[in-house]
Amino acid sequence: MSGNHTEEPARLWGARFRSPPDPALMALSRSPTHHHRLIPYDITSSMAHARELERAGLLTAEECSTITVSLQGILADHAAGRIAPTEADEDIHTFVERVMTERLGPLGGKLRAGRSRNDQAANDLRLYLRDQARKLSALILDLQAALAAQAEAHLGTIAPGFTHLQPAQPILFAHQLLAHGQAFARDVARLQDWDRRFARSPLGAAALAGSAIAMHPELAAKELGYDLPTENSIDAVGNRDHVAEFLFAIAMHGVHLSRLSEEIVLWSSRQFKWIELDDAFATGSSIMPQKKNPDIAELTRGRSARLIGDLASMLVALKGLPLAYNRDMIEDKAAAFDAIDGLTLVLPAMTGLVRTMKVYVDTLLKQSTEGFTLATEVADWLSRRGVPFANAHEITGALVRLCEERGIGLEDVSAADLALVDPRLDISIKAALTPQAAVAARQGYGGTAPERVKEQLGRLRKLGAEQKTWCETYAGPRF
Question: How many alpha carbons fall within 13 Å on the CB side of residue 273?
Answer: 7
> Which member of 269, 285, 414, 428 is catalytic?
285
Which residues lie below 8 Å from residue 105, measured CB to CB, with a gap of 6+? none
285 is an active site residue: yes
Query: One-letter amino acid identity for 388?
Result: P
Task: Report the chain's C-alpha Rg in angstroms.
Answer: 30
> Which member of 2, 19, 164, 286 is catalytic?
164
The conformation of residue 425, written as its DSSP 8-state character, comes to: -
Distance CA 392, CA 379 (A): 5
Which residues lie below 8 Å from residue 479, measured CB to CB, with a gap of 6+? 40, 41, 79, 131
**β-pairing, 200-201 with 228-229?**
parallel
Distance CA 454, CA 451 (A): 5
Distance CA 381, CA 255 (A): 38
Quick one: which of 354, 409, 459 has its CA closest to 170?
A: 409
Q: Which long-range contacts (CB under 8 A, 24 or more apart) does 76-79 make?
A: 78/39, 78/40, 78/43, 79/40, 79/479
164 is an active site residue: yes
Distance CA 279, CA 282 (A): 5
What H or E segment, with its residue span, contains residue 415? helix 415-421
Could you give the 3-state DSSP secondary structure of residue 218? helix
Residues belonging to the active site = 164, 285
